[in-house]
A = this chain, B = another copy of it.
Amino acid sequence: MMQPFQPPVRTLLGPGPSDVAPSVLRALSAPTLGHLDPRLFVAMDELRAALRPVFGTANPATFVLSGTGTSGMEAVLANLIEPGDGVLVPVHGYFGARVAEIAARCGAEVTRVDGEWGRASDPARAKAALGGRRIKLVAVVHAETSTGVRQDLAPWRDLAREQGALLVADTVTSLGCIPIDADTNGVDGAWSCTQKGLSCASGMAPVTFSPRAVERVKARARKVQSFYLDLGLLLDYWDAPHGYHHTMSSNLLCGVHEALRLVHEEGLTKRFERTTRVSRACAKGFEALGLELLVPEAERLPQLLAVRIPEGVDDVRVRSRLLAKHDLEIGGGLGPLKGKLWRIGLMGHGATRKNVLTLLSALRLALESEGFRAKADGAAVAERELGD
């Protein structure tokens, strides 16, 4: 006989999902509505209006897809790439590599420019790597979830403009944590997720397309290879008179709606400041413990800190201990960084003093159980840094 599943209450300090606010969890279990219910359309419009300032855009074509962040990546690329198109992808982490992989599956001629994992990419180097090749799209990762690197978008806009290309950005780990300023930065397409900076459950992918990008999709010679992620069909659903395309989950939509409401209740500027303040204290706490951060401060995302695992300390044993003893989740490394670093997310609702204190205390005990001697009391240092 199958038993009900009762998940434990974790503190989620990995690279996502982040801690979900109680009112967002409640919204997920609101009464289900049909995908063509006129009351749902009102909530969808409110959601779109609330999402635009978080992306920093006025794009009408801003909405959420019925899939996770990776579906958002695939949607933006599959709609904007036609077979044979030149696409420039600077890669300095796992998700840049994923962008290049998906672009190739869309039939792009990808110029992939690999940089150091843990540093931002250099636009001048990428430009040189192009040689004389013409490109139609530049695809960059604004916030590299595998390393915690922030990539400034403005130089890539300039490179894209020189080429007459569009600029698209992976904002999976930036939306709701740091400013994206999509319009100011000339971003023509961006994708994100709901389970990091917005602190909702995963399952939907916020996306935005500039009017130029929408025109590009309309002018395609070939149909988009994905029917499920076809922008024209999706907009036929999201825009009045709301034709049928797929059965969007009203329950997920209610969760995202409430998560965005909380973002605006706090205020974007305050939210960004809180994230930065809490993260800076946490970083000082790590350093006090004697841990080294992967990314130099100038390129570091506040919402995702990558910490090198000290020599002689076992990655899996530490993470398992945190989970088993403290119901506390942190992330491991991806790809070549597996076993070499931990990823600590301080995102949205989870970027709190309490979480920093819990993490630094629990991590210190775990490190000591591995024979690592902490330099100082990281939790006390972070607490002092945060003030009252």
Assembled-state Cα–Cα distance A247/B196 (Å):
11
Residues of B within 8 A of A265 (CB): 2
**Does A27 reach chain B (CB closer than 8 Å)?**
yes
A98 partner residues in chain B, CB cutoff 8 A: 227
Closest B-chain residue to A49, C-beta based?
B2
Task: Report A90 CB to chain B, min CB distance, Å.
Answer: 19
Given A67-B66, A68-B246, A203-B249: A30 and B6 interface contact (C-beta under 8 Å): yes
Whether the pair B228, A43 counts as a contact (CB closer than 8 A) is: no
Report A214 CB to chain B, min CB distance, Å: 20
Please tell me the number of chain A residues within 8 Å of chain B, measured between CB atoms. Answer: 78
Q: Is the interface of A mostly helix, strand, loop or mixed?
A: loop
Which B residues touch A246, using CB under 8 A?
Answer: 68-71
Q: Is the CB of A227 within 8 A of B102?
A: yes
Q: Do A247 and B105 touch across chains, with their CB atoms under 8 A apart?
A: no
Whether B34 lies near A17 (C-beta < 8 A) is yes
Q: Does A40 contact B (CB under 8 A)?
A: yes
Chain A 98-126, CB-CB to B under 8 Å as 1, else 0, gives 10011001100000000000000000000
User: Could you list which residues of chain A lie within 8 angstroms of chain B, going by C-beta atoms?
Assistant: 1-10, 12, 14, 16-17, 19-20, 23, 25-35, 37-40, 43, 46, 50, 66-71, 74, 98, 101-102, 105-106, 193, 195, 201-203, 223-228, 244-252, 254-255, 257-258, 260-261, 264-265, 323, 329, 334
